[in-house]
Chains A and B, each alone.
Chain A
Amino acid sequence: MQKLDDAILIELALNKNDQLAFGELVNRYQSNLRYSMRQLTDWNEALADDLVQEAFIQAFKELHRFRKQAKFSSWLYRIAYNGFLQYVRKKQLVTEPIEDQPLSANDSLDHQYAPERHQSELHRKVANLLSDLDPERRSVLHLFLHRQHTQQEISDIMGIPLGTVKTHINRGRQSLQRGLTEHCA
């Protein structure tokens, strides 16, 4: 049912140029994507939101390329992830210490939906652990451990071979566990 609804919204946006239909898709998927990008960018909120915004714009421009049999959320994640990779390649991701992170324009929005402080720290801790991994492994581990996708699904979403996904998961989990142990020590 969910997929059918997405398909109708995409058709409306594509053939009738209905931006409100696309707005509904933005509304539907922005939360998951904004959280995922925060995890990939070591909780750099401004950067994460910029990447998500760019991903939605790119998706709108390339909507005619979307294969109906795929999940829109997966396609969207791949676009956002590709944007993140481009950013890393171009500028070398700057990992700012959390305490020194400047207030972003989105902070007020975050406060509006602010979870408890300990919850926020939990998510930042996860993002900080992931930041020790290279971008591709980081994304694989996020999709596997947080989003609970199967290895095959991750392979499809990211467009990398299944064997590579398995390697990332095995080595990435060990690396994250080491990081967690050091963090707790």
Chain B
Amino acid sequence: MTNDTFPSNKSASGALMSMEERDTSALDALFSDARNQEPTYADANFNKIVLNSLPARPGRQRGRSWVFDAAGLLIGLFACYFFFDFGGVATSVLSFIPESLTLTVANVAAMVVGLVSAAVGAALLAWWTTDKAIL
């Protein structure tokens, strides 16, 4: 906990106190009192009410989670297969390569691996972002 950002209750001398500190000292004192006199609200009845309202099982099961993830992956692959313009992408990539360059098998393989890695990376990033954003 950093003390430089937190309101202190110390009684600094007037000369050293900034205008803001002087302005909000009463406020800090009020919250300090409230903090020191915070009541306790723990009771068994509330606990029972919450426990009686809980669903039978917590969250989704891990098995089901994989089913949903696998289903999403399959749908994505089908969508790519039917709607993705592979020829267009190949033409675009090849247009970046100078005509004077002779492509070897290794060059093409490296290019394919690079493109597939980038696509998989983007898909994983999208999945992670969505998964994290749900709650």
Chain A residues with CB under 8 Å of chain B are 13-14, 17, 19, 22-23, 26-27, 30-31, 34-35, 49, 53, 56-57, 60-65, 79, 109-110, 112-115, 119-120, 122-123, 125-126, 129, 144-146, 148-151, 173-174, 176-177, 180-181
Contacts and interface: CB of A to CB of B under 8 A. Distances in A.
A53 B42 contact: no
Given A56-B50, A151-B5, A180 B27 contact: yes
B47 interface: yes
Contacts, number: 127
Contact of B39 (A13, A14, A113): A113
Contacts of B34: 122-123, 126, 146
A31 B42 contact: yes
A148 to B, nearest CB: 6
B30 A64 contact: no
Contacts of B60: 64
Given A19-B51, A27-B42, A60-B59, 6 more contacts: A23-B50, A30-B50, A31-B42, A63-B58, A112-B43, A119-B39
A31 B5 contact: no
A120 to B, nearest CB: 8
A177 B25 CA distance: 9
B31 interface: yes
B41 interface: yes
Contacts of A61: 55, 58-59
Contacts of B135: 62, 65, 79
A37 to B, nearest CB: 10
A126 B65 CA distance: 44
Interface string B12-36: 0000000010011011101101110
Contacts of B41: 30-31, 34-35, 109-110, 113
Interface in B99-117: none
20 contacts: A17-B57, A23-B47, A26-B46, A30-B42, A31-B40, A109-B45, A112-B43, A115-B39, A122-B37, A123-B38, A123-B39, A146-B31, A146-B34, A146-B35, A148-B6, A151-B5, A173-B20, A173-B24, A173-B27, A174-B24
B134 interface: yes
B94 interface: no
B90 interface: no
Contacts of B43: 109, 112-113
A148 B56 CA distance: 37
Nearest to A154: B5
Contacts of A27: 42, 47
B121 interface: no
Nearest to A149: B1
A134 B106 CA distance: 61
B2 interface: yes
A122 B42 CA distance: 20
B54 interface: yes
